[in-house]
């Protein structure tokens, strides 16, 4: 997972270099990430409607997705033009839809207890993979083409490792025939609906923060007169994104010992609070902003695995892959809006307003987790598993 998810933010990590090479503005730059999000949605919906997420073994699906993502991720380095890059980023996102949800399902086959921590570990791997291109760009001083090539090789290696070196766990899910009603039945369940509402709030913030924090921090360094803002900005962005792995592990541990709702709700309150204020510190000390960014990075992703954990526990076990894929696809639609509007708001009113725009999402998600926790405590929630009938 660490290796396979490397292409997601490969162009975001080298965005300043791409702007200089291809001569586009901030809004056009946002589409290099938005194309990945849209591609992921299309790929995820395709998997859900064909039920391939439940018909192909998850590790084999990861290999297929990784190979396609590796090839597509390398295309901008070969074509060296904005138009082909947009198409290639769309294909990259569609291919990664065959990596992320199947990986969550594959991990779940190993755990009936402490599944929250297990999926938290998987999200930690996703987080590290998302940070990888920033790290490669920061430590190597390499050109943007080299960053794309390295991340393509990484995702190819990740797919091979998943397929050849791993095995499915003892708690495998039954292979199901195509059943469109599984989607509707799953989301008629109150526990899944509230978990999905929380996931929507989480996604409103997460990918826009990951996509734009590096650019924000470069602006902070420029304001401070830093000598090498591009390289330092990449290293700090890698650290801010990567530290989310620790947050995911913490939330997974809390999830198994207290509740999924508490493990998701607390990080969303913290990340929403940071989003409200950090953008107004764009002329403050870079050290202060980096430290606050680490808090934001640790909390912004920590809750993510818990929404998937709830679905793996509450959905019809024959259709867990389909249910996860639909939840993920729905959430990623929201990311298109926030990734697009953050630079627009930044250009109009500054970073403070741009990041504050993200805060209502996690705060709404925290409310959904409170309602879910109240249901659990009162015993009014529906049974843990809903049948797709």
- Please name which of 205, 220, 295, 200 lies closest in space to residue 250, comparing C-alpha atoms: 295
For residue 232, what pLDDT is reported? 87
Does position 113 have pLDDT exceeding 90, yes or no?
no
For residue 389, what pLDDT is reported? 32
Does position 177 have pLDDT exceeding 70, yes or no?
no
Domain definitions of the chain by residue range: 10-378
Please tell me the pTM assigned to this model: 0.84
Digit-coded pLDDT (tens) for 224-242: 777 678 788 889 999 999 9
CA dihedral 260, 158, 325, 379 (to 10 degrees): -10
**More confident: 65 or 170:** 65
For residue 256, what are the CA distances in angstroms to 37, 119, 195? Answer: 30, 11, 16
Contact predicate 276/305, CB 8 Å? no
For residue 102, what pLDDT is reported? 84
Q: What is the average pLDDT value for the chain, to the nearest integer? A: 85
For residue 388, what pLDDT is reported? 36
Burial tier of 380 (Cβ tally within 10 Å: 0-12, 13-18, 19+): exposed
**Residue range 1-22: average pLDDT?**
90
CATH number of the 10-378 domain: 1.20.1250.20
For residue 227, what pLDDT is reported? 64
**More confident: 180 or 387:** 180
Digit-coded pLDDT (tens) for 136-148: 888 866 688 999 9
Q: Which of 20-29, 58-67, 107-116, 123-132 has the lowest mean pLDDT?
A: 107-116
């Amino acid at each position: 997972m660490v290796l396979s998810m490397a292409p997601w933010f490969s162009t975001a990590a080298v965005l300043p270099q791409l702007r200089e090479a291809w001569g586009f503005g901030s809004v056009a730059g946002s589409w290099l990430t938005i194309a990945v999000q849209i591609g992921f949605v299309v790929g995820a919906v395709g998997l859900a409607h064909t039920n391939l997420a439940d018909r192909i073994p998850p590790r084999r699906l990861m290999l297929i997705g990784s190979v396609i993502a590796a090839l597509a991720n390398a295309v901008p380095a070969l074509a060296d033009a904005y138009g082909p890059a947009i198409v290639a980023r769309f294909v990259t996102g569609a291919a990664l839809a065959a990596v992320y949800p199947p990986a969550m399902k594959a991990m779940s086959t190993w755990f009936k207890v402490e599944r929250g921590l297990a999926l938290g570990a998987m999200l930690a791997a996703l987080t590290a993979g998302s940070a990888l291109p920033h790290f490669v760009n920061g430590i190597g001083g390499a050109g943007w083409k080299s960053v794309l090539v390295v991340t393509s090789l990484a995702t190819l290696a990740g797919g091979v490792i998943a397929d050849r070196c791993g095995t499915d766990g003892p708690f495998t899910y039954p292979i199901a025939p195509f059943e469109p009603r599984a989607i509707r039945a799953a989301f008629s369940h109150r526990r899944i609906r509230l978990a999905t509402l929380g996931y929507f709030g989480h996604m409103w913030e997460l990918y826009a923060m990951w996509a734009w924090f590096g650019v924000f921090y470069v602006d902070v360094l420029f304001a401070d007169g830093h000598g090498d803002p591009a390289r330092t900005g990449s290293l700090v962005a890698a650290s801010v994104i990567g530290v989310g792995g620790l947050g995911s592990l913490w939330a997974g541990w809390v999830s198994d010992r207290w509740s999924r709702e508490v493990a998701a709700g607390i990080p969303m309150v913290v990340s929403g609070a940071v989003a409200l204020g950090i953008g107004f510190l764009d002329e403050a000390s870079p050290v202060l902003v980096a430290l606050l960014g680490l808090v934001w990075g640790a909390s912004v992703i920590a809750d993510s695995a818990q929404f998937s954990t709830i679905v793996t526990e509450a959905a019809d076990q024959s259709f867990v892959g389909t249910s996860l894929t639909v939840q993920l696809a729905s959430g990623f639609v929201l990311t298109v809006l926030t990734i697009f509007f953050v630079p627009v708001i930044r250009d109009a009113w500054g970073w403070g307003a741009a990041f504050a725009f993200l805060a209502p999402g996690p705060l709404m998600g925290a409310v959904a987790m409170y309602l879910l926790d109240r249901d659990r405590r009162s015993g009014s929630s529906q049974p843990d598993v809903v049948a797709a009938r």
